[in-house]
Amino acid sequence: MPAPDAPVTMVMSSAAQWLFTVAHFAVAAAVTVWVLRHWRGAQARLALLVLAGGGISVLAEPLFDRLGMIWHASVGQWTLLVMYGHHIPLWMLPVYYWFIGGQTLFVVQRVRAGARVADLWRLYGLFCVMDFLLELPILYIGGVYTYFGNQPFWSRTWFPLPGWYAALNGLLPLAAAAAVLLMLSLKGRGHVWSIPLAIPMAIFAVYAATAWPVWAALNSNAGRVVSDLCGTLTIALGVFTAYLLITMLRREAPVEVTVPEAMQQLVSV
């Protein structure tokens, strides 16, 4: 069943659906072509595994929507999947593929190139800003999806993206990159090929570990004060988790040695 008070009669904008579906699949295709043109052999395979992991992570969206009270207009929707009473539109698949997968790939490359702690913090901030830039125009236009319930740091009219969401969405590429680098550091071909599964596992784990205060407030009819306090705690947990992930990524000292070895395993397949 959908979350209580979900706007189940919300109608999907036909024009927006066409636009987002075509645009996001085009971007996903362009990213794939870019990878295949600029990278060869094992490096290209690794990139495609990471992008695939981003795409598979769309399976997390229904749970996040149910607990975090997001509703994608289901009337007239081209539906990719239905879980927990929530309908996920087809265009969300390429979004996860190029947005989450692409960001993860960028973090992996930056870490391998010797990114400093300050560089990774800047990336986290950039990912949070990118989430605002991606979502706010869609929410202002309307007719595609909406947030509902007693959301903290949110105004349906003036600021339709709850502030806590961006703080957590910025974590996802860092968590996924940490999972990728862990798989690359382990011996055995199977670990490398498990990257598409490791990425959604990391995303599920990090989101649940940080969003639980807000999820609890949203699903227990808490008042505004409690909701805002839980939102503050969730943001604090998000920043703390960013610190942990950045520390982990910077301590991947053996990466320069183990990544090429893992790539050789890809070449040998």
Question: Residue 89: what are its φ and ψ, rounded to 5°?
Answer: -75, 155
Residue with tokens 């990774």: 120
The residue ranges of every structural domain in the chain are 14-258
Q: Are 201 and 179 in contact (CB under 8 A)?
A: yes
Q: Tell me the pLDDT of the chain (269 aa) as tens digits.
A: 888 889 999 999 999 999 999 999 999 999 999 999 999 888 999 999 999 999 999 999 999 999 999 999 999 999 999 999 999 999 999 999 999 999 999 999 999 999 999 999 999 999 999 999 999 999 999 899 999 999 999 988 899 999 999 999 999 999 999 999 999 988 777 889 999 999 999 999 999 999 999 999 999 988 989 999 999 999 999 999 999 999 999 886 444 434 445 555 554 44
d(CA 153, CA 99): 24
Q: Which two tokens stand for residue 253?
A: 């000292």
Q: Tell me the whole-structure pTM to 2 decimals.
A: 0.91
Residues 6+ apart with CB under 8 A from 179: 195, 198, 199, 201, 202
